[in-house]
Amino acid sequence: MTIPRNAFPAIFSNLAKASEKQQLYVLEKLFSELSESMQLKSSSRKVSPETIKNQITEDLQNQYPEIMKKAEYTEERGVHRALRWGEKVTTLQKSLIDRYLLKGDEFFVENDLFICEACGFIFLGKTSPGLCPVCKAPEKRFTKVS
């Protein structure tokens, strides 16, 4: 399997987390360094919330259903789970952008955004949602975006 160049930062930041959970802190640090060193520089290309929404919509309409179909008759439980969670989290990303476009900037300044570190679910509100509705991670796994 060839690995696309842009995939490395996420592969390595994930391995850093997996090292930290085993208390392999030297490995954690090295994987983090490697992840950051391979991070692409942010370009000055103008991006709007709509652009991201379009890419996400394509995932929901085509990518997830197609991969799920391929995974259906396999025993790959991890892939099934990742696709289910990913589809839910992506649906909520899209609805968040929709709410931004509908309600405007002020609404997002007044409310806080909380992210589940386990599955990526984003919650908009005054306080964190407690249990994650997607992956059932406890409240302590939520971090506030600021």
Partner 1 sequence: MYASRNIELCSKDCLCLFVCPTGAADTETGQIDRDLCLDGCRLCVDACPSHAIYLVMNNYPEPGVKNEELTSLMMALLERKTEQEQAARNLESAAQKPGEKKLAMALGKSLRILAEDCAREAGFMLPQSRSVRDMLKELTETVDSEKNEIISKLLREIGKVK
Tell which positions 26-85 bind partner 1, by CB under 8 A.
Answer: 26-27, 30-31, 33-34, 37-38, 40, 42-49, 51-52, 55-56, 59, 63, 67, 70-71, 74, 76, 78-79, 82, 85
The least distance separating partner 1 from the CB of residue 108, rounded to whole angstroms, comes to 3
11 binding partner 1? (CB under 8 A): yes
Do residues 142 and 133 lie in contact, with contact meaning Cβ atoms separated by under 8 Å? Answer: no
Contact between 131 and partner 1 by CB under 8 A: the answer reads no
Whether 115 and 132 have beta carbons less than 8 Å apart is answered as no
Residue count at the site for partner 1 (CB under 8 A)?
Answer: 75
Q: Residue 26: left if φ>0, alpha if ψ -120 to 50, beta else—which one?
A: alpha
Retrieve residue 76's tokens: 């790959």
